[in-house]
Structure 1
Amino acid sequence: MKIYSIKRLLPAVAFLSLFSCDVFDATSEVAINPDQAFISEAASRSAVAGIYDAMQSESYYGAYFQYTSDNYVDVGDFQGFFQGFQAPDQGAIPTRNDNILQLWAQAYRTINAANEVIDKLPAVEVTGFEEEEKTELLAQARGLRGLAYLDLLTHYAEHFDLSSDFGLAIVSESNNGNLTQLQNPERSSVSESYDFVIADLQFAVDNLPDSGDNSELTKAGAQGLLARALLHKGDYTEAISLATAVIDNPSFMLVDDVASIYTVDGSPESIFELPYTTLDPSSLATYTISRDEVRPEPSLIESFTEGDERRALIAFIDGFNGERFVKAEDFANQANPAYIIRMAEIYLIRAEAAFLDDDAGNDDQALADLNAVRERAGLPPHDNAEDFVDKLLDEYLWEFFAEGQRFRSLVRLGKLNEVVGLADFRRVYPLPQQELDVMGNNLVQNPGY
């Protein structure tokens, strides 16, 4: 992992301690005034680092985001003891599931940390701290907030229906680190939720540098995340345009060696990742190698076509029974990065959008992009676009197992029930019942729960 990430993450601990309470619990208070975090340029940068640190939590990108959803579909197989991972594997997530609560809470802690930066940073006036630098930090904060809200939207809200009232609970203002000042929000519509996410990500696209550093959010990362958001919304023309901009960026590429994505630090395949170190470890290998909460689903293993190099990323490891996911291979030090967006996804975004876009899309472009990912893995190209959605979902399965992409891809493309047999209301997670039990709560549970 990159050395500078240690410098970035350690000062963030003090800032994140300001935002460690339950999300909408009106009885919680924070004793430290977060204004203390915005007294200098260095302190302001530490506050931004605190947003990344919140995302790195085990409850978010450190494990729960990827593995809860993968156990819910045909990727992960539960053979362990932690019940938070067991219910998704059984296809029936209750409203009091601990993983669902912790993921929700950590995403909102990330949002809360971002809101403090967005609110307080513009007022920081210190010699040598230029407006351009502040704007770039604001763009990181807004981009990360947009990502967190997009993750919530595509898991806890009816993101597949623009007419739905079951969107996000949007909190966009600072609460000065004191959650007693936080008004219990109502749910916005799905359309309003997309508008908020897109505005944040567009600000990031417009104001972040064009850098090849994938350990923080840059212009290319923001473009990729915005393309992801627009694909989910069904704005295919704009998704194609943004995906093309990322594909044309010389700092990133579809690397030839699939395994190198996960073994080479700073792989140009990875557009944005969260680095971890031995001092700041993830739990990605804990649940897939050291423990048995997330083992490869037998049907996944059997589904690979002969010659697919990605099959080698499920393997036997000395000292452990059965095959394991080995994308996060460092189970000794836990210094495994979390991959937020990779070039393979950008190609598949453009492929999907090109196939579904009645205006700017075309089957030839869709097939070419799909085959780029497929051929990189050592498989022969498809020669036609027949059953294209099924072919696309196969690539999402084989390319992104153990990375948390399969569930929302099946939902987005209307195949969840057909492929894994989940009822339609399970296209979204339940809102955590603990949040609905808060006094003065204004949230409404998702239909069916």
Structure 2
Amino acid sequence: MKYLKHNFLKSMALICAIFVLSAGCNILNIEDKPDPNNSELNEIINNPTRSDISTLVTGTEAGLREELRIYHINMGMIGREMYRFLAAEPRNTADLLGKGNSQLDAGSFYITRPWASFYSVIRNSNILIQAATTLNNNGLFTDEEYNGAIGFAKTMKAYQYLMALTLTHENGIRVQPESDFSTTGDLLSKADSEDLIASLLDEAATDLNNAGAEFSFSLSSGFENFNTPATFRQFNRALRARVAVYQEDWTGALNNFLPESFLDTNAPLDMGAYHVFSTSNNDMLNPVFSDPQAGSGDSWVAHNSWAQEAEANDERVDEKVVVRDETASLDGLSSDYGLFVYQNQTAPMPIIRNAELILIRAEALAQRNNVGDLDAAEDDLNVIRTNAGLPNFSRGLTGGQAEVIDEMLNQRRYELFFEGHRWIDMRRYNRLDELPLDRAGDNVWEGFPIPENENIDS
């Protein structure tokens, strides 16, 4: 896939000027200053052009990819899916794994950099909303064009808030005021954070319903199946279904959100929305691609248990890991399997795909547990199993809801491997104590602290 380039350079310049995407900067101390210090911000809000909307959209989508490397290392290592063996960065195998007396540091790169990236995109989305509002008020944007831009921006905001919340969990997230770029809002509880995310997605879905047949802007090839208001709304509803199961709203997922998403048991499991990469100038490569045979000083490896505990003939094992020529070892840990989920430096990374939606439906059916629900859940699980070359699953004569839920979690483990779900899933089901510990004294964290560089009171 090839990333849109016509607005990319301008987009990144604008983002850097306004939001300071550099990982070493504190985005929460950026002030809304008069010219010349922040002339770009004033101009884009008060005197935008139609092309500025396209620039902001492209920049927002590009910004989604920042710090995905750190985010997926966090998720994969704490969830014991993989290890990043990097001799020059001992915090990967110490802090993230709870080695000895290690603690998660609120000032460390593994929380401050992803957090800064998420909130940069949120602020970029807020600027997009203000710029689109100005154009609409000045009669330069139709109501449909305005609704399309707003629906896109709110969906992106919700997605980035959700990414932040998956890290901080019970510590919640901060609200970024839509029109004040010099401050941050209140710190929300986990439940209130989920409600905020759900509300943003629902508001965006309404906007997209009123956005006409076409967007006024283009999206990258990662959204090639979701590049109109109607199809982008399906992507929005897919994210909303994910939030619903996090909130244990099983009926909402089944009746309201999944039917309006792109779930399709007859379509490829990989159909979905993706982050895309290329070798083009001003673009970036897949940040988690690595040679699966790389030396132990810098290697990405799968946790041995993932391959060793797989069912016989599960085709996903050979698709996602490689048996290493030599065992990789570091800091008392080792692996015989190189990580190969993303098999080249421009491989796309899923935001959400059809396989996850099928598994979400199976989970919601199993949890609702009405007459016929477990049979329907089995049917969905068998779609996943069949695609992996496995025989059908059928609960035993005395089997019930618990057995179906176990199988659902197992299929999520293998189908969604290294896509950022395992730690969340085990946490949702209070099963973190079932994750393997390879060293005495290690532990599994429940969540990250809020970054200390916010420098504001709760």
The TM-score with structure 2 as length reference comes to 0.79
Unaligned runs of 5+ in 1: 159-165, 256-268, 444-449
Which residue of 2 is the match for residue 347 of structure 1? 358
- Asked if 1:403 is matched to 2:402, the reply is no
Output the amino acid matched with 1:170: V
- Asked if 1:427 is matched to 2:449, the reply is no
Cα pair distance change 1:233/1:296, threshold 3 Å? same
Deviations 1:297-352 (A, max 9, x none): 1111211112111111212589997632222111xxx2222211011100111111
Partner SS for 2:157:
helix
Cα pair distance change 1:79/1:215, threshold 3 Å? farther
Equivalent residue for 2:457, pick from 428, 438, 442: 442
Deviations 1:203-249 (A, max 9, x none): 23333379972476812211110000011011111111322333556
Distance between the aligned counterparts of 1:290 and 1:109, measured in 2?
A: 33
Shift of 1:155: 2.1
Equivalent residue for 1:51, pick from 48, 51, 60: 60
Distance between the aligned counterparts of 1:36 and 1:28, measured in 2?
A: 12
- Asked if 1:149 is matched to 2:161, the reply is yes
Shift of 1:70: 0.5
Output the amino acid matched with 1:236: W
Output the amino acid matched with 1:283: P
Equivalent residue for 1:103, pick from 114, 128, 143: 114
Shift of 1:360: 8.8
Partner SS for 1:206:
helix
Output the amino acid matched with 1:94: L
Which residue of 2 is the match for residue 191 of structure 1? 191
Shift of 1:173: 1.7
User: Does structure 2 retain, via aligned residues, the 8 Å contact 1:114–1:141?
Assistant: yes
Cα pair distance change 1:248/1:273, threshold 3 Å? closer
- Asked if 1:72 is matched to 2:74, the reply is no
- Asked if 1:366 is matched to 2:377, the reply is yes
Partner SS for 2:86:
coil
- Asked if 1:85 is matched to 2:92, the reply is yes
Cα pair distance change 1:43/1:237, threshold 3 Å? same
Equivalent residue for 1:36, pick from 27, 38, 43: 43
Distance between the aligned counterparts of 1:404 and 1:93, measured in 2?
A: 22
Equivalent residue for 2:322, pick from 306, 315, 334: 315
Shift of 1:12: 1.5
User: Does structure 2 retain, via aligned residues, the 8 Å contact 1:315–1:326?
Assistant: yes
User: Does structure 1 retain, via aligned residues, the 8 Å contact 2:177–2:183?
Assistant: no
Higher gyration radius (CA)? 2
User: Does structure 1 retain, via aligned residues, the 8 Å contact 2:272–2:352?
Assistant: yes
User: Does structure 1 retain, via aligned residues, the 8 Å contact 2:44–2:131?
Assistant: no
User: Does structure 1 retain, via aligned residues, the 8 Å contact 2:165–2:193?
Assistant: yes
- Asked if 1:329 is matched to 2:343, the reply is yes
Partner SS for 2:307:
helix
Deviations 1:31-78 (A, max 9, x none): 333133352111112112221121111x1x3x2222211111220123
Cα pair distance change 1:200/1:27, threshold 3 Å? closer
Cα pair distance change 1:93/1:399, threshold 3 Å? farther
Equivalent residue for 2:172, pick from 150, 161, 167: 167
Cα pair distance change 1:298/1:420, threshold 3 Å? closer
Partner SS for 2:236:
helix
Cα pair distance change 1:375/1:118, threshold 3 Å? same
Q: Aligned residue pairs: how many?
A: 406
Output the amino acid matched with 2:183: L
- Asked if 1:224 is matched to 2:238, the reply is yes
Equivalent residue for 1:284, pick from 283, 288, 305: 288
Distance between the aligned counterparts of 2:241 and 2:120, measured in 1?
A: 25
Pairing 1:209-220 to 2, within 5 Å after superposition: 213-214=224-225, 218-220=232-234
Shift of 1:24: 2.3
- Asked if 1:23 is matched to 2:27, the reply is yes
Distance between the aligned counterparts of 1:315 and 1:136, measured in 2?
A: 43
Deviations 1:256-299 (A, max 9, x none): xxxxxxxxxxxxx2321111111212312148676735311111
Single out whichever of 334-343 and 291-300 deviates more from structure 2: 291-300
Output the amino acid matched with 1:51: T
User: Does structure 1 retain, via aligned residues, the 8 Å contact 2:381–2:408?
Assistant: yes
Cα pair distance change 1:189/1:407, threshold 3 Å? same
Cα pair distance change 1:380/1:75, threshold 3 Å? same
User: Does structure 1 retain, via aligned residues, the 8 Å contact 2:241–2:253?
Assistant: yes
Which residue of 2 is the match for residue 258 of structure 1? none
Cα pair distance change 1:319/1:390, threshold 3 Å? closer
Distance between the aligned counterparts of 1:393 and 1:174, measured in 2?
A: 41
Equivalent residue for 2:388, pick from 361, 377, 386: 377
Which residue of 1 is the match for residue 220 of structure 2? none
- Asked if 1:302 is matched to 2:312, the reply is no
Which residue of 2 is the match for residue 264 of structure 1? none
- Asked if 1:237 is matched to 2:251, the reply is yes
Distance between the aligned counterparts of 2:65 and 2:44, measured in 1?
A: 20
Shift of 1:424: 9.7
Cα pair distance change 1:423/1:198, threshold 3 Å? farther
Cα pair distance change 1:35/1:337, threshold 3 Å? farther
Distance between the aligned counterparts of 2:263 and 2:84, measured in 1?
A: 40
Cα pair distance change 1:389/1:68, threshold 3 Å? same
Output the amino acid matched with 1:329: Q
- Asked if 1:182 is matched to 2:183, the reply is yes
Shift of 1:132: 0.9
Partner SS for 1:141:
helix
Distance between the aligned counterparts of 2:259 and 2:28, measured in 1?
A: 40
Distance between the aligned counterparts of 1:329 and 1:193, measured in 2?
A: 35
Single out whichever of 218-227 and 412-421 deviates more from structure 2: 412-421
Shift of 1:397: 1.3
Distance between the aligned counterparts of 1:301 and 1:248, measured in 2?
A: 28
Cα pair distance change 1:429/1:70, threshold 3 Å? same
User: Does structure 1 retain, via aligned residues, the 8 Å contact 2:168–2:448?
Assistant: yes
Query: Over aligned residues, Cα RMSD in angstroms?
Result: 3.1
Output the amino acid matched with 2:260: A
Unaligned runs of 5+ in 2: 215-222, 329-335
